[in-house]
Amino acid sequence: MSMNLDAVGQTWESGEHAWTSKDAILYALGVGAGAQDPLAELAFTTENSHGVAQQVLPTFAVMLGGGGGGPKLGDFDFAQILHAEQTIRLAGPLPVDGRVRSRARVAGIYDKGSGALAVMESTIVDADTGAPVVEVSTGIFVRGEGGFGGERGESAPWERPDRPADHVVVYPTRTDQALLYRLSGDRNPLHSDPWLAARAGFERPILHGLCTYGFTGRALLHTLCGSDPAAFGGMSARFAAPVVPGQELAVHIWDDGRFVTKVGDTVVLDRGVFTGVSR
């Protein structure tokens, strides 16, 4: 088994993606909106509440990539793949319904010793006008595929502040959270199939990293943006540890935009950076 290093630099049109008001609501429910108080986030969980215009959670952007294409990244066991990092950079608030097309490229495949990190970047635009919608960067870690002598890749400087967070937002997750979240399109059986989870070394199916990412994005939206998606420019984070559905997430946020998400004392999202919109 090995990584396909020839894939680096290749680009492709990864197709169109359309969504509706219902899709945006289902995603919001999948990342916990309204779970603690059904009346608190009606703008994201309903389309017909009196005096409340529907809006879309900014992290819904991770669902807007095309349906496939691109080079094969290598010959490896699917169970050895873990989501490693995620970045979104929004051009503005996402519409309640829309249609986009995307162009993707393999930005790099890096040798991390114990595994390989493959980074894909996508530029997503409105299918009709070509106007920018969002730029997305996704890193996946393939366990056991490092040691091929490649570059390690550079990391942006990041230090956790040496003081307590300015805000801590605590969200419980449901024991069936992964089953709900997967309805938005991420059907990876690692998050639902006990057999595959066991092959990957987990006692039970784990929560999607992007679900934890969505919970965290909600905390950033409500804490740093006054719940206004127009003030949300982007966010990036690394996935540091798995979350089991039913665990409680605590999002530690500093006013300069840095954040981490924890389960107990364990950091599950690390090196977080939120970017607001200048006005």
Q: Which residues are marked as active site?
A: 186, 191
Report whether 126 contacts 100 (CB < 8 A).
Answer: yes
Report whether 249 contacts 171 (CB < 8 A).
Answer: yes
Q: Which has the closest alpha carbon to 229: 106, 105, 134? A: 134
- 254 vs 164: CA distance, rounded Å: 8
What is the phi-psi region of residue 15: left when phi exceeds 0, alpha when psi lies from -120 to 50, beta otherwise? left
Phi then psi for residue 28, to 5 deg, are -60, -45
Phi then psi for residue 155, to 5 deg, are -120, 135
- 275 vs 87: CA distance, rounded Å: 11
Q: Which has the closest alpha carbon to 94: 27, 167, 147, 184? A: 27
Cα angle value 37/251/61 (rounded, 5°)? 80
- 100 vs 124: CA distance, rounded Å: 6
Rg (CA), the chain: 18
- What is the residue whose two structure tokens read 């790099």? 108
End-to-end Cα spacing for the chain: 50
